[in-house]
Structure 1
Amino acid sequence: MTLGVLVGLLLIAGIAYAWDVMANQHKVPRATSVGGVDISRMERTAAVEKLEQELGDVAAQPVDIRAGEKSSQLIPQDSGLSLNYQKAVDGIPDASLNPFSRLYSFIKPTQEIPVAVDVDEGQLSGELERVGNELKVEPEDGNLELIDGSLKETKPKLGQAVEEGELHEGVVKHWLDPEGVEVEPMVVEPQINDEAIEAMRTGDAARALDNPLTLKGENNTAGTLRKPEISQFVSIAAEDGELRLKVDKDRARELFQERMQGSEVPGTNAKISFSGNDRQITPSVDGSIIDWEKTFEGFEDRVTSEDDREWDADYKPDPAEFTTEMAEKATFDDTVSEFSTGGFSRASGTNIRLVAQQVNGAVVNPGETFSLNGYTGPRGTAQGYVESGIIIDGHAGTAVGGGISQFATTLYNAAYFAGMEDVAHTPHSYYISRYPAGREATVYEGAIDLQFKNTSNHPVRIETDFGNDITVRFKGVKTVDVESINNGRWAKTEPQRKSVSEDCSPSSGAPGFTTSDTRVIKDLSGKEISRETTTTVYDPQPIVTCG
């Protein structure tokens, strides 16, 4: 009985197996899907038609591509990607003849078969390059800055990139996935990362800032710079993807010089002075000064070193430029320059005569700067000066010492034609016709000075003559000829009316203007040495009415 049942069951199974093989021969096996479309047990031609019908527009739909937090898209048909349905179906093998495999096919999960894809590599390459750039995140370098003696850190930020081959493989294989394409990005480190910042913080920056620098000089002097001072000449800069310590040697030198007072004894020029006609000579003295170039050799390495932060300054001779011998041989026979002005009032003449007497006989030695205010000192009633006319608030007035500006103008012009260097001069606020336009000067005790420097190798002696005019003459050795070129007047401005109730001197006014003067200095053979133009703007002189 049992054997008969078993034989019967086997016979039925055999018939079912044979029927299944015959019914599904050359068809797509059970539980088969292509691109999400179920084509199980379909004739292969029909399967191709179904895929074309259901997936026909998929190549026109945008595909999302993600890498980390960045995303991009591409249109497959515009990117060289197309579906080959026939190839996909042809590539599906027939169902196995193994009876157990065929039996399992009734219950096994659906097998997803990828759609065969045709790829135009040239077209796809360009699109993948664009997508790769859109998925890229540039890293941001960190930084370490030295601000007010403290280190301020800017944290670096990681970047990302996608590997070309991985992006290609992901797109070709998975662009039909409804979830899009996911690509694992590569981490891109910034050039200046945490490691570089920490290396600078604990390396060069720490060695530079945390240890004092001491320069030892002669005469028991020494200059020490600590963190606050070192911070003034040390900085951190990002260069070529690296953090580098920068050292401003010029600023470091300034800081050391401030602390090395007394370590240098500069050479002192000889000085000539006169008491009457008797010449008096203050001898020159050769000095010794720090040779900063040699002293600062290897200074950058010293700053970043833990050792060798205390060292001795190197010195070099600083001989006098105008020696005692030169002073003894100096002559004052040539008239180097001479200038005269006139037209002053009696009271102004008193003041001009007094200041001229004070300056008469003054010697300006080579390298010296002459200051009119400094040489004369106070010019008040105690010194015999009287009230006379001045310019105040744009109109005429009076004050003790009035008229001295005429002497200043005369002295300025003598210095001008002697080729002296103009250190400080201030023109009047408005033009005074007895002076050359753009070539005059005013002074005011304690506020406005006239200064010029003797840049020649010969001393000059200032002589003054007072009479109807005031003349200033420079005596010494003539080495240059000086020409003054006035460049005309322009930008004229009209005067305004002004009413004055006290201490009033009426005035018809005068227009203002701009002018310039060019000084040309030549040697005695006629070769030009220098040419310099000075521009002066004169305000209009107001029309003053009294009342």
Structure 2
Amino acid sequence: MPEDDEYPDHVGAGSDDHVRSPTERMDRQAGSGDGNGESSGEEPGQESASPSESKRESGGGSAGGERTVRISGGLAGPEEPTHSHRDPSRPGPSESDSERTQRIPAVPAEPTDAFSESDTERIHAVPADEGLYRNPAAESPTVFTADGRTMSMSQAGGAVPPPGPADGQQGAAGEGGRNRARLLRAGVAAGIAVVLLALLYLGDLAFSSGLVPRGTTVAGVDIGGLNKAAAERRLRAELGPSLDEPIRLRSGDAEASIDPAAVGLSLDWRATLDRAGSQPLNPITRVTSFFTTREIGPVSNVDRDKLTAALQEVKPELQRKPKEGTIKFEGTEPVAVEPTPGRKIDMQRALDVIVAEWTGSGAVRLPSTSQPVSTTSEGVHRALNEIAVPAVSAPVTVLGDGAKATLDPEAIADSLRFEPDGKGGLKAHIDVPTAVEAVKPQLAETIKQGKDASFVIEGGKPVVQPSVHGRTVNWEKSFAPLIKVLRQQDGRQVRAVYEDQPAKLTTEEAKQLGIKEQVSTFTTGGFSPDSGVNIKRVAEEVDGAIVKPGETFSLNGYTGVRQKPQGYIASGIIKDGRPAKAVGGGISQFATTLFNASYFAGMKDIEHREHSYYISRYPMGREATVFQQPDGTSLIDVKFKNVSDSGILIETAWTPQSVTVTFWGTKQFEVTSHTSPKSNFKPPEVVPIPPGEPCSPAGGQKGFTVYNTRTVKNLKTGEVTKQRERTDYEPQPIVKCGQPPTP
């Protein structure tokens, strides 16, 4: 606000009792009448009244009279200076077109703390050229005094009247109005859009009622927007021709196939369409269905047991066993074999996936789990460089007693083996038999093979063949340091470790066994040529066996594995109650012969089992069968214990028609046998074997029961014992080959 010294004509507040406009001030200066309508008595050219005089003039007759206010018809311009004489050329108060005079009755002012009744509030003038552009709030309001001078409202001590709206406020008010208009228009448009969308939604819902939801596919076939009848026709047309084709199964890079008809797989058309559901009510779902698809799995019928069996059959083609990394040799060149994780089919999940995806166009990918390996590629290559490469870089010398043998790189490559070390790498070891085969001939003159005492039959009597004390090489100990030596460039030699090899049965021990006469003998015949090969082979293995007093003899234990490498071939056996073939078949005839020889020698029966049905070439109730796994694990065996005081020598003799087993020792028991008549007969059943399956036809026979009684007399003590055994033979089925089962 301007200071007083800038406006020397200003006076204090409250000096006038009425408000003067700039026009009034100009009229007063020009000598017009005062507020009471009387002449002021001033002549033109005279000075205006002093403030005190003006106050006195304004005080008289103001209580109940009238006040005259001159109101400008337009906005006041800048304040003009006060002159002693009015310019004759300027119009007076009565001549101005922009002014008019109005008499306003005086209204007594109520007394306040700030003003007395005689105080006059003056309203500041707003110049015409500033009122539209200047912010009144930024300047102090100006009031006019009785003598025509101006002063600020703050100087006058009066209250500042509320300013009019500023330019910014006027603009904000206008902008607010425009915003309200825009919002109104937007609201109307939005309402119209909502109504239109609602109409479209209801129309789409009504139009698609009863149809398959839009965007629905089955096995890639689009059936959306169709009624169920049309959808089923489309599915049958698109999918039907391929449903009879084999189902391709894939796991990794392996493939196999199964026949859908064989496992009862078929598509349930009606249930599949029911799975599609009804029209969705969610508007978002309906909108997105225009540019998205929804695949529903087909509903299938299946015989799950048959599907499981079919998958089990092809599973070996789809799975992969884990393969550990190793090192192989191509000649003398070591080659790293990278480890390969295995892959195992998840059966339960695989069955579900097949049922869900078998209608698709591609192969069904079966879920599987990875089978880890313990070796790493890094570990394999480390073993290659640190062991395999130096191992074949030069030969190794084996030092014997007075002789040397050479293990050359080729023999080293043949003998060296690698296996996981459990830490990601490989550890090496020597296959001793392979290495021995390479060096033993070179050290043969330093080795003396030991030999147990044995018996030969000469002139109808057993004769002792003397034992031989041997000296041989312990190859395991000799080759123990070989792996370390193979990693060396120098000092590549090992020393053969020799050991004495005493006989297990010396000449003296053999003579003391009391093997001097025949104790028992038994012969069987009537076998087939194939069985004859196996019978001859097992007889050769058992011939010469010695059972010391108190020992138990086991046929399976003595021969060990009986497979093709041991000289056995496939021949007839009985499996699951009907004839079949297996390697080693026919040995039961030797087992029966051996059992009867032990039976009549008075040996104690430890284990034997009769055939499931009776074979006429064997004695009823006094025969035996044997069976073992391919690895030699015994399942059915013939075992007996030597309960005599002498040793027993087992002698065998084979001809193309028969086999004989004779026990030699010192006769101590006299044995007789009695077999009861057959009883408890059972008729046979007919077993048809479908065409294409392995089959051995059989005429069948009745089943029955017999009892066998063995009477044993101890010749030394005269004691007699009896053992009674019951044997139940099942009916031998009538096997008919190439016939379908009877319904």
Q: Give the TM bin, normalised by the shorter chain.
A: 0.3 to 0.5
Give the TM-score normalised by structure 1: 0.41
> Normalized per residue, which structure has more strand?
1
> Which has the higher Rg, Structure 1 or Structure 2?
2
Identify which of structures 1 and 2 has the higher relative contact order when contacts are C-alpha pairs closer than 8 Å and 6+ apart: 1
